[in-house]
Structure 1
Amino acid sequence: MVVQNATENSIKIMKNLKLKIRKTILIVFVSFFSIFSTYAQFDGVFSHYMHNLSLVNPSYAGENNMIQASLFQRTQWIGMPGAPIMSVLSVDTPFKLLERQHGVGVQFLSDIFGVFNNQQVKLLYAYKYKLGKGHFSFATNIGMINVICNADSINISKLTTDDGYHSDNDPAIPIGKQTGVGFDLGFGLNYVSDTYSLGASLTHVNSPIISIGDKNEFNVLPLMQVNGAYRFPLDRDNGKYKINTNVLFLTDFAVWTSHLSSILEINEKYWAGVGYRYQDSFSIQFGLELFDGFRLGYNFDIPSNRLILNTFGSHEVFATYEFSLVRQKSNSTKSIRIL
């Protein structure tokens, strides 16, 4: 009798445990959808952004006087299931028209987060003119946002069977593979000199509404980004060592964050630096120019908040190649890649 009661109690405990596990999995899935709505309002930012400022401001397209092709990849919150993995391919170039300097570019972005994949395509155009000891740029970008929800990767019916809490017909839960598309618009401006750079941009100006299926949609809020940088030599005689300081402020007018960094550059070929993202992480980065125009960089973010209990950190790498289709009169080129 005692054995029978113990067995019955064990069966009840196992059923309750399975029920709790199913509820937990379902809650996590639904939470991903809710989190993504917030996350999409605040675009992911690379800690390496200063190596290609057109990632945060379209007015930097064509800034380096050469064609620039860049590939960035960020694996965030290592060890955490469903954590963001962001990749960007960017190409921009300067050109001259009617005795005026211009810049154009194109960017492809993929941001995988849980069961979602945020894909974006942007076309960039910048108009530039000389002003004082530097030059001023005004730019716009247009593009498309395509959000894919891979809900078919989770068996909703199995998770909701006999739980008495959710239904597999819950309209809040997407079914199958859902896609939402929206038009995107942004603007940016900057002023660049030999020693400093200031810029501001506003993306998602039109606040695109992305519909996921027939029951779910979210509004992508405008995102303002303000960046500044200052470069100064440590040895004024030959300029072999330089310090590059960078600051980036971001807000969607509901929440905000900022990123500060300081980078030591040696012979314009090697660099190493540290950074801090407000209430988020500390970072270290280093890189080198392997050969003329081709650079590689690595960055590691260490959480400065409670995420450190669940993840070791975030990896980030980038590769950039700058080249010209026209023979240059001089081998030296002026670049603001880390301004």
Structure 2
Amino acid sequence: MKIPFKNLVPLLALGMISPVHAQQNIQFTQYVFNSMSVNPAYAGYKEELFAQLGLRSQWVDLEGAPQTGVLSVDGLFDLYGARRHGGGLQIMADQLGPQTATSAYLNYAFRLRLDREDTQRLSFGVGAGVTQYSLDGRKITVLDDGDYMLPSGKISSFVPDIRFGIYYHNAAWYVGASLLDLLSGGGGDNLFRWDHTTTDRIRRRRHLYIIGGVLVGLSESVKLRPSLLYKDDFSGPPSLDLNAMAILGERLWLGGGIRTGVSAFRRDYRRFTGERLSGMNSVSFVMQVFATERLRIGYSYDYMLSRLQGLQHGSHELTLGVTLGRPLDRVKCYF
């Protein structure tokens, strides 16, 4: 089988991120505005009914590059009571060349009040859902026809999944940890079967996420919000996002960050790639504008620092967030 290089680039790039035959979780640069995408225990944190739409176009002008959309809604079940029960729905569609993954998750968070003033909470979250993984053989351009290892059409399979998380926050800082895709990857039979042959797994791997951040008041109208996100799939190189946002007058958030590999664990990647993997991945610009009290608009741009730098024109991400219902008289959320 021979496939033109232009169609292999996105798959090779993905392989350099995760050498195993599996799909990495999509990582949104704007997770800093809504962390439910990486931790189910975050559901209901804003204590308002909040909906967000996110669109990400990765590696612009690279054929077959990832395109992702996510819609989420979360809030409290007991908004006017003890505010202990949070819930959320998340729907995500991701396409990478000939393969797609469409997911739907229901998240629940039990929120413990830790002090009388209700300035700090500890949440335990669980999520359950299903992902449809698809591979469309018609989108794979081959030079030699008749390869029995390729599907002639589109094949798909549904995989159930669960996720767990814990999240603590107070007025000054937050920290959380979560395990995602516990049923999706790691062992078992190959995902797709047809005509007595198999393909390698393209479903996502199990992931560990650790998030944290602080809020520093620089003046009455300016606040600084540094944060981090650590991601590990237990096979490929872990990654670390380091971000910092300046909050100006409650209306405008401006900042940026870097995404880099982490050498905390020694893993033998050369047996997959034949060479060392680059540590630095990208730098990003991030902003969020509160157009009204209820509508927020976010935009981010990632500039690649890896070997893909000359083959594409960065990654764009746009989010729209809307607060629904009657807002509570409470301290403004910054995490």
**TM-score in same-fold range (> 0.5):** yes
Q: Structure 2 residue aligned with 1:170, among 148, 154, 157?
A: 148
CA contact (8 A) 1:41 1:252 kept: no
- Structure 1 CA distance for aligned equivalents of residues 3 and 199 of structure 2: 21
**1:31-42 alignment to 2 at 5 Å?**
32=11, 35=15, 38=20, 40-42=22-24
Name the larger-Rg structure. 1
- Give the structure 2 partner of residue 301 of structure 1: 302
Pairs within 5 Å for 1:50-199: 50-96=32-78, 99=82, 101-132=84-115, 133-154=119-140, 156=142, 159-161=143-145, 168-171=146-149, 173-199=150-176
CA shift for structure 1 position 30: 11
Q: Deviations over 1:128-181 (max 9, x none)?
A: 01124511000100000111112123465xx315xxxxxx1432x222011121
Q: Matched residue pairs, number?
A: 301
Relative to its length, the structure with more helix (as a share) is: 1
Aligned position for 2:234? 253
With normalisation by structure 2, the TM-score equals 0.83
CA contact (8 A) 2:4 2:141 kept: no
Which range is displaced more, 36-45 or 275-284? 36-45
- Which residue number in structure 2 is paired with residue 201 of structure 1? 178
Task: Select between 33-42 and 211-220 the one with higher mean Cα deviation.
Answer: 33-42
Structure 1 unmatched ranges of 5 or more: 1-21, 162-167
Deviations 1:268-311 (A, max 9, x none): 11111010000210001122101112100110110112211111
User: 1:211-230 alignment to 2 at 5 Å?
Assistant: 211-214=191-194, 215-218=198-201, 220-230=204-214
Is the 1:247–1:259 Cα contact (8 Å) retained in structure 2?
yes
Q: Which 5+ residue runs of structure 2 have no aligned equivalent?
A: 261-279
Q: Structure 1 vs Structure 2: percent identity of aligned residues?
A: 27
TM-score where L is the length of structure 1: 0.82
C-alpha separation between the residues in 2 aligned to 1:194 and 1:267? Answer: 18
Measured on the aligned residues, the alpha-carbon RMSD in Å equals 2.5
Q: Are 2:273 and 1:272 aligned?
A: no
- Is the CA contact 2:72–2:91 (under 8 Å) kept in the aligned structure 1? yes
